[in-house]
Structure 1
């Protein structure tokens, strides 16, 4: 496994002001591929890694609506992965800048939706960064920002991408991630498994 290549993808995908200590470490990547290999995806072109996506299974009743990224992902180590859970939770998705808008991110997301269906989970859920929010933080609430992105009033590189992938906002989490651009907020975005029989 090319762990250094995956760390390079993180480095290219999340340049400063994103905190470099939030890039993957080899120890975290070892946990991802050993605990939940179906949730450790990567994309490559010509032998070069260009994107990755990581998830884990959780029981959302254990975490509630206002969780942080650190809490629900075990600081990115996913040692809290629970095969009996109901939700595939997105830890991270990234594509290096030169391959953005090429469909790679959407392909990774669709592959994770297939994992949700295959494992008969209720949903895919994750906190979406809101990197455009800092420009409006003095004027509007994060909830109003998410509503504005939904309505097409604002364009946000992360939230707009997640919406195009079929994800739906279910709320906003405060103190989610140490992220200046998002002012610490994240939009919780879900995709519900359409193939589960309703109770």
Structure 2
């Protein structure tokens, strides 16, 4: 299981953090965090439910991480293991994550696939998402998996959809000419785009596209 305690800085003030596996005792707070991260008009039925959270800690507890700030639960990051063929990248979020229920978790899979990352808005300036992503890289290494993978929304794409293809938009972000709230964040976490997926998620801002973002285990050479 995972437990890491350290400090980050809020300006010049050290702030104590704990990253650990979440458990049933955390479920109410995890649902509350979802409500803060995805407020109306986002439909509340798409927040985590108790059955999904139970499955996370049942099927793959190593992939169910949360982060505490001064003892308050501030965010979570959830994953499952799958087998991934780089030559056949097309998939949807619903299919590969079993709509967040992860009953398709494969203990013998070669890839840790990110289901969701959520951080309370009031704590986002502390870089907690990046800290949790780094923790999940530790899980990839410990389990000797090939990669961490996940689809990154492109919420800025709808602003330029009439003048740029999804690939052109992604290249604009990589060139530093554009900044995307999600893709830029994932790049800062060390993730690398390996392709664009169409109809990945019903997401108006991204026009249903996503960038498939990878982190390769540096200790495994294919």
Q: Single out whichever of 80-89 and 15-24 deviates more from structure 2.
A: 15-24
Equivalent position of 2:125 in the other structure = 101
Query: For each residue in 1:72-98, what CA deviation from the matched residue of structure 2 results, as whole angstroms up to 9, or x when unmatched?
Result: 000100000001111000001111111
Equivalent position of 1:84 in the other structure = 108
Structure 2 length-normalised TM: 0.85
Equivalent position of 2:12 in the other structure = none
Contact 1:19/1:179, CA 8 A, preserved across alignment = no
2:211 aligned with 1:187: yes
Contact 1:11/1:20, CA 8 A, preserved across alignment = yes
- Aligned-partner Cα distance in 1 for 2:173–2:45: 29
Uncovered stretches (5+) of structure 2, i.e. residues with no partner: 1-24
Uncovered stretches (5+) of structure 1, i.e. residues with no partner: none
- Shift of the 135–23 alpha-carbon distance from structure 1 to 2, 3 Å rule, reads same
2:143 aligned with 1:124: no
- Shift of the 35–163 alpha-carbon distance from structure 1 to 2, 3 Å rule, reads same
- Aligned-partner Cα distance in 2 for 1:104–1:78: 24
Q: Larger Rg: 1 or 2? A: 2
- Aligned-partner Cα distance in 2 for 1:166–1:136: 25
> Offset at 1:110?
0.3
- Aligned-partner Cα distance in 2 for 1:20–1:62: 34
Equivalent position of 1:66 in the other structure = 90
Equivalent position of 2:3 in the other structure = none
> Offset at 1:180?
1.2
Instruction: State the superposition RMSD in angstroms.
Output: 1.6
Flag the structure with higher strand content: 2
- Shift of the 183–91 alpha-carbon distance from structure 1 to 2, 3 Å rule, reads same
SS of residue paired to 1:166: coil
Structure 1 length-normalised TM: 0.94
> Offset at 1:101?
2.8
Residue from 170, 174, 180 that aligns with 1:156: 180
Following TM superposition, where does structure 1 have runs of at least 4 consecutive aligned residues deviating by more than 6 angstroms?
none
Residue from 185, 192, 195 that aligns with 1:168: 192
Contact 1:17/1:180, CA 8 A, preserved across alignment = no
Q: Single out whichever of 77-86 and 56-65 deviates more from structure 2.
A: 56-65
Q: How many residues align?
A: 198
Equivalent position of 1:22 in the other structure = 46
Q: Single out whichever of 71-80 and 42-51 deviates more from structure 2.
A: 42-51
- Aligned-partner Cα distance in 1 for 2:173–2:190: 14
